[in-house]
Each structure stands twice: as C-alpha cells, then as structure tokens.
Amino acid sequence: MLEPTPLYGGNAEFLDALYEQYLRDPASVEERWRTYFTQLSSAEAAAAERAHSPIRAEIAQRAARTAGAPYAVSADGAANANQAKVSRLIQVWINRGHLVASIDPLGLMPRPKPRVLELEYYHLTPADLDTEFYTGSRIEAVPKRLKLRDILAQLEYIYGGNVGAEFAHISDSEERLWLQDEFQEGRLRHRFSADEQRNILRQLTAAEGLERYLHTKYVGQKRFSLEGGDAFIPLLDDLIQSCGAAGVEEVVIGMAHRGRLNVLVNLLGKSPAELFSEFEGAYEPGRLKGSGDVKYHKGFSADLRTASGNVHTVLAFNPSHLEVVDPVVEGSVRARQERCGDERGARVLPLLVHGDAAFAGQGVVMETLQLSGARGFFTGGTVHVIINNQVGFTTSEPADLRSTMYCSDVAKMLEVPIFHVNTDDPEAVVFVTRLALKYRMRFRKDVVIDLVCYRRHGHNEADEPAATQPRMYRIIRQHPTARRLYADRLIAAGALAEADVEAMLEQYRSGLDAGRPQARAALGLIGNKYTVDWSAYAQVDWTEPVSTAVELPRLRSLGERITSYPKEFSLHPRVAQLIANRRRMLQ
C-alpha cells in the first residue's frame, strides 16, 4: 500500500507558503521539510529564487487600478478591427441575406431580420456609417472601397430584394465565388431593353389573357389555372431563347397539370381552336393520338424559333401521379443525348417543373435528384422550376407542410444554387432564369428556381379556396395581377402608354376569338435528322397480326457480339461459364 503524502492539490496553498518561508529562512521550517526543499534545487538556484506571493499581490493591485479603463489602442488598430467586422458583415449578408429577401408577392411569409445582419451584432455604430471600408469586391460593379452606409444599401438591394439567392451551401469555391460575382454584377447592372420589356409584358398578357378567356367561356370547367404564377410564361419563353443562344438544340419539359394549357398554347403553339374543341368535347377522331387523356395531361412538340436557330421543344405527356414524369424526362433526354453523341449535355436540356408540396414531399423527386450526377444517368444538369403557390393542395401553414424553411431545401444535398424569386417582379424572374441557365451550361449541374407565387383560384376552378385559406384569399382577391403591376411599372417609367397596354390585350383576345396560334416563336413540327416520324403508326388496325420475328442469321450475329470479349481479358470462372453457355445457344 502507498504511504500517505501531503503533496496533493488540496494542500497547494499551504505548501506554497511553507516553501516561501523556507526561502526567507531555511532554519525556520522543520528539518524533514528543509531536507525535502533542499533536494528540489541547488543552493545557488534556491538563493536566486523569489517568493511568488508579493508578485501575485502586485499583479492584483495593477489589475484593480486599471479595471474598467479602456485599453489604449492605436488608430490603426481600431481601424483594422472595424475593417474585420465589416468584412464579416458583408460575408454574412452574402450567405444569409436570402432570409430577408422580399420573395412573397402576398407578404404573408414571415421574414424576421436575423441579428447577424444588424450593425450592433458586430459592435459597429451609426458613427461608423460614413467611414470608408474595403468591400473585398472582385467585380467592377462594386467599388473596392465604400462608406459603410453605401455597403449596407448595396447588400440590401442585392440580397434583400425580390430575389433570395442560396449558394453558401456549395463547398466548391470556384462555383460559389462565380455565383456570388455573377449574381452581384447582374443585380446591380443588368437592365432590360425596351424590346425585352415589351416582350415580357406580351408574355404576361398571353398568360393572363388565356386564363381569363377560358374562365369566361368555359365556366366551372377544370383547367388548373396558372393565374398567380403568370411569370412562368415569360420565364419559359426567355429560357428557350437563351438555350438557342447557348447552342442547345432540344429541350424536354416535364410538368404536372397546373399551367399546362398555358404552356401548350402560349409557348408551343397549340391551336386555341383545337383546345376549345377539347373543352367542348368535339374531338376529331382522325386526329386523336393514343388512347386519349384529359386536356391538361397532354403532351406536345414543336420547333421554336430563336435568333441562333431553332430549338426543338417537347412537353412530355403527364401521368396523373405528380412528379412521376421526372425520371421519364431524364431518361428521354439521356437517350436523345446518346443518339446525337452529346456526352456533356450541351445540346439537349431537361427542364422539370414542380409543385411546392410535391417537390418537398415526394420521394421520386429526391431519387431523381440523387441520380443526377451518376454516370449512367448524367444529363448535364437539369433546370428545375418550382411553381410555389405556398399552399400545396390546401395547406398554407409551412409548419404543417414540411420540416424545412423552403420547399426547395431537399435540393441542397446536391450542392446546387437555389434562387427564390418573387413572381410579381417578372424582370427578376427572367434575370434569375438567365443566370440559372448560364450556371447549368458552365458547371453541368442542376439548378433550382423557386418561383414564389400564389394560386388565384382553388386547386381546380370548381373549388372554393376561401373555405380553407380565408386570410390568404382575402388578400389574393384584392391583389393586382402580375400583368397589371408590370404594365403600371412600364407606364410610370414612360416606356409604354395605357393605350399600348390595352391594345396588346385586345390583340391577344382577338387572336383567341379567331382560333389563331398565339405563340410568338412556334414554327410547328419541323424536326431534324433525329426526329422520329410516327405518322405511319397513327391510323392502323391494332388487331391486325404483325410479324415480330428476327432473321436467324441476325440473331446469331448479335449473339456473337454480346458474348465476345478481348483475348487478353481473363474472365472470372463463373462468368466464363455463363458466356460459354450462351455461345452454345447460338448453335
């Protein structure tokens, strides 16, 4: 058993005092302690050592004299400290400014300002607002030095406006910094020409005009209106035009039912007369394709004219189950890419359109996202557009819809940019669309546009939405349409007169009355060398026997090809046996 010893932490103060007594007068301590202390150091070292208690007392007195007094810091030191605070403030705004962005056209989405976006959080004061600081900018649109008040104004305009940009979750610094620079440059300097503004208004007029026309002419019939998300049409129109400029030759679209009729007529050029016939149940048997379906599930294909050449655009037929079309579109795009040798996805682009509740809640969305970078499923990046009417089916409280802040958060697992945009600002919508495509073409990855909008009617036109969302629909019924808001904006800027706006609307209505195609870029189906002509299979007797046999020599030739392998390659014994058995089948 170990002998007891006084040398432990509880006796530290006693031992310290005893040792100081030894240093003052060795003879004053007991012999056994004197012997112990003598063994700790040589006589010379002990003589040079000083007692610690006076030193501690002096330190305590100095601390008491300076308690509460500010440290004497040089002017340069204070400036450097404030510069570090401002640099941190800028970075936090870049990362978290989306939290205060004005993305909800109805103003119902809670947007409390986090403390980390306030000056006080960094111990900066209003007295610092007129001090210049380095901005750390890499672009010309943001000067290298600005007053703090100007820095804050720019940050609020760029990141707290009608677009909320999320890319802080992207770990690749090249991607993240490229997005930051492009977004800042675009928000500060991007301006639309008068022709571009007129076209945006024309697309909004078409989007609203078709829905209002159908609502009046076919009262109570289901059409799953796009109203409230009207900016989706200028988004699609500009995306196709930008695809043409980027060298894309084909776009394959997958979407559910909401807004599909609008896309068919105003983007792809489906004849309004044909659509009206479907509403009236007057079908032409000779023009029916397949087994038939409701009008808001039907697909279409057409060539759309752009300044850089035609873009063949396909709207996939939609199964009734939401989002199931996603992997179908990706498979179609991959097949088209392989057929034309498009290994990097430069010539064929997939576009998937989602609902907010479906994007957050359906597993097939996550599964499709997860496969986007896998070698066997890679398509060079998909442009995702969420028509986020903030209500899903009938649930307007986000806490009852999902566990995340945004319906798009599931896409963060891919480390891709997400842009939340207010649909009442169509110029912001088009700007984000151009940036999204630019990112996709540069990095060959998915990108998400969260089009924050609302649903002017119920889930379908026969529903009464105020029964489940009374507050939301009280606001919606008093809220001007996106077309009206944008028209007022152009009129106020002197770009258009009210007469021009009304003439544009009347021209569109007259076209519908006449049943004329309304899509500005649609050329009908022209096709290219890869286009399949299905007309030979349209009018046939499905009961007629058809020979499906393959000639024996061709079967043997194919069998030899699929059982051949390089001579220098050594097969696993089990695999070698399988190949041998298959070769015997060819005999």
Residues 6+ away with beta carbon under 8 Å from 441: 246, 346, 381
pLDDT of residue 393: 75
Residues 166 and 226 in one domain: no
pLDDT at 72: 47
CATH number (domain holding residue 405): 3.40.50.970
Counting Cα atoms < 13 Å in the Cβ hemisphere of 376 gives 1
Establish if 547 belongs to a structural domain.
no
Task: Give the pTM.
Answer: 0.83
Distance CA 356, CA 406 (A): 9
What's the CA gap between 455 and 220, in Å, rounded? 16
Question: 560 and 587 in contact (C-beta within 8 Å)?
Answer: no
Measuring CA to CA, how many Å separate 555 from each of 182, 273, 415, 546, 583?
Answer: 56, 49, 47, 19, 12
Both 370 and 225 in a single domain?
Answer: yes
Please indicate, yes or no, whether residues 21 and 58 belong to a single structural domain of this protein.
yes
Answer yes or no: are the C-beta atoms of 485 and 111 closer than 8 Å: no
Question: In tens digits, what is the pLDDT along the chain, a chain of 587 residues?
Answer: 455 667 766 667 777 777 887 887 888 878 887 888 777 766 666 666 767 777 777 777 776 665 555 544 455 667 788 999 999 999 999 999 999 999 999 999 989 999 999 999 999 999 999 999 999 999 999 999 999 999 999 999 999 999 999 999 999 999 999 999 999 999 999 999 999 999 999 999 999 999 998 888 888 787 888 999 999 999 999 999 999 999 999 999 999 888 999 999 999 999 888 888 887 776 665 555 555 556 667 888 999 999 999 999 999 988 767 799 999 999 999 999 999 999 999 999 999 999 999 999 889 999 999 999 999 999 999 999 999 999 887 787 777 888 999 999 999 999 999 999 999 999 999 999 999 999 999 999 999 999 999 999 888 777 888 888 899 999 999 999 999 999 999 999 999 999 999 999 999 999 999 888 888 888 888 878 888 877 777 777 888 888 899 999 999 999 999 999 998 999 999 999 999 999 998 88
Rounded Cα–Cα distance for residues 545 and 543 (Å)? 6
Q: In this predicted structure, what is the pLDDT of residue 53?
A: 73
The pLDDT of residue 236: 97
Residues near 450 by beta carbon (within 8 Å), at least 6 away in sequence: 103, 386, 388, 406, 407, 408, 418, 419, 420, 421
Whether residues 177 and 303 fall in one domain = no
| Residue 426 shares a structural domain with residue 460 | yes
DSSP string over 28-65: GS-HHHHHHHHHHS-HHHHHH---HHHHHHHHHHHHHH
Torsion sign across C-alpha atoms 264, 270, 275, 281? negative
Q: What is the pLDDT of residue 79?
A: 74
In a 13 Å sphere around the CA of 7, the CA atoms on its Cβ side amount to 5
Q: Same domain for 361 and 384?
A: yes
Q: Is residue 323 in a domain? A: yes
Quote the domain boundaries for residue 38: 9-62
Q: DSSP alpha helices (H): ranges in 97-136?
A: none
pLDDT of residue 46: 61
Give the CA distances from residue 134 to residues 168, 364, 446, 548, in Å, rounded to whole numbers and listed in that order. 21, 47, 34, 74
CATH of the domain at 161: 1.10.287.1150
Please check whether residue 497 lies inside any domain of the structure. Answer: yes
Q: What is the pLDDT of residue 71?
A: 47
Q: How far is CA 108 from the centre of its chain?
A: 21
Q: Is residue 543 part of a domain?
A: no
Q: Is residue 368 part of a domain?
A: yes
CA distances 473 to 108, 239, 259, 454, Å, are: 11, 31, 20, 10
- Give the torsion sign (CA, 452, 457, 462, 463): positive
- Which of 273, 306, 229, 311 is CA-nearest to residue 476? 229
DSSP-assigned letters across all residues of 231-291: THHHHHHHHHHHHHHTT--EEEEE--STTHHHHHHHTS---HHHHHHHHHT---GGG--TT
Do both 256 and 373 map to the same domain?
A: yes
Same domain, 164 and 264: no
Assigned domain for 3 exists: no
Structure confidence at residue 67 (pLDDT): 52
The tokens describing 450, both together, are 């969260």
Task: Judge if 184 and 197 occupy the same domain.
Answer: no
Please check whether residues 182 and 197 belong to one and the same domain.
no
Last residue of a domain, one of 188, 223, 256: 188
- Domain final residue, candidates 188, 222, 243: 188
- Sorted by sequence, the CB contacts under 8 Å of residue 228 that are 6+ apart come out as 389, 423, 453, 454, 455, 456, 476
Tokens read off for 10: 């509880």
Q: Are residues 196 and 309 in the same domain?
A: yes
Distance CA 473, CA 182 (A): 37
The answer to whether residue 4 sits within a structural domain is no
User: Residue 48 is encoded by which pair of tokens?
Assistant: 């040079």
Q: Please state, in angstroms and rounded to a whole number, the distance separating the CA atoms of residues 148 and 139.
A: 18
> Is the residue at 544 inside a domain?
no
Give the per-residue pLDDT at 447.
Answer: 98
Q: What is the pLDDT of residue 481?
A: 96
The answer to whether residues 135 and 90 touch, using CB atoms and an 8 Å cutoff, is yes
- CA distances 408 to 355, 369, 449, Å, are 10, 12, 9
For the chain, the domain total comes to 4
Q: Is residue 432 domain-shared with residue 375, that is, in the same domain?
A: yes
